Amino acid sequence: MATRDLKQSFLQTAADRISRYCPVIELEFGICLGDVRPRELRTGDWLDAFVEGFWAEWPRHILAKKGRAPSRFEEVLARAEATLIRAVAPPFLFLRFWWPDLFMQWNERDSSIWIAFYGWSREDYERNMLRIDQYVVHEMAHGVWNRIARAERNRLGESMKAWRRWRLWSEGFAHYLADVHFRGCYPPHVVVSEDWSDFRKRGKHLVVELVKSRGSDVLREIPLRWAEYTATS
């Protein structure tokens, strides 16, 4: 099978897994993730989403907390910074995503799951096909978090520490759902990875301990009350 056919087969399998798990996740958390579809990740698309999302909204968020809108100079400066990023970043992003391991990312703008195929061999396609269930559920868990915690995110303020704690709990929540909570839904042949960074393991551990002490119902509360649980953990 040609590489193009392998890629299309992988995307179709991802779509099938989304169709299998999305209704289960939506029913449990009482939310709608929308028309979730897999898409091939291209560095240009990822960069546009970053610049138009985080890079554009973070300065405005800070200024809004200070009670004013960006000045004309600040708007021009932000556009200049965005242009510079778009000019120099693509080669580095290409190297970042040139990786035979499985990489997916939830895209909140259109409820899609990006999948990077850079550097994959035929063997990588076969190996990653066994891990696709866990990764698809992980990314949809980020969609669940974003929908439940959207209002809470607006109250984060300008503290990078708060944003880092937000990400710690978000990743821990997604890993717990994919690695533990919905694991019983996976077919027997599925491989569930435990090889994560210390940061992700720490976030998952926070959720594991919380579920142990309060039960699985707490999962619906974590996206809204993570700051409270941070203070007591």
Break the chain into its structural domains and give their ranges. Answer: 1-36+120-233, 37-98
**Mean of pLDDT values over 162-190:** 94
Q: Is the model's pLDDT at 24 over the cut of 80?
A: yes
Alpha-carbon distances of 31 from 82, 112, 141, rounded to whole Å = 34, 16, 11
pLDDT at 100: 72
What tokens were used for 105? 């990312």
Q: How far is CA 68 from the centre of its chain?
A: 31
* pLDDT recorded at residue 61: 56
Mean pLDDT of the chain: 85
Residue 26's φ and ψ, nearest 5 degrees, are -60, -40
Per-residue pLDDT band at 68 (split at 50, 70, 90): low
Please count the residues of the chain.
233
Asked if 177 contacts 136 with a C-beta cutoff of 8 angstroms, the reply is no
Contact 34, 28 (CB under 8 A): no
Cβ atoms within 10 Å of 201's Cβ, excluding its own: 16
Is the pLDDT reported for residue 168 higher than 90?
yes
Report the DSSP beta bridge partners of residue 39. 114
Query: Strand order of the sheet with strand 104-107?
Result: 37-40, 112-115, 104-107
Whether residue 89 is predicted with pLDDT greater than 60 in this model: the reply is yes
Contact 192, 183 (CB under 8 A): yes
Q: Name the pLDDT band for 77 (thresholds 50, 70, 90).
A: confident
Is the pLDDT reported for residue 93 higher than 80? Answer: no
Average pLDDT over residues 184-192: 95
The pLDDT score that the predictor gives to residue 71 is 74
Angle 55-206-201 from CA coordinates, rounded to 5°: 70
Report pTM.
0.83
pLDDT of residue 66: 60
**37: part of which helix (H) or strand (E)?**
strand 37-40
Q: Which of 141, 213, 225 is nearest to 179 (CA)?
A: 141
Give residues with Cβ within 8 angstroms of 188, minimum separation 6: none
pLDDT-derived band at 80 (thresholds 50, 70, 90) equals confident
More confident residue, 86 or 214: 214
Distance CA 173, CA 138 (A): 9
Q: Please indicate whether residue 75 or residue 145 has the higher confidence score (pLDDT).
A: 145
The radius of gyration computed from the CA coordinates of the chain, to the nearest angstrom, equals 19
| Residue 197 pLDDT grade (very low, low, confident, very high; cuts 50, 70, 90) | very high
Give me the residues paired with residue 112 across strands.
Answer: 37, 107
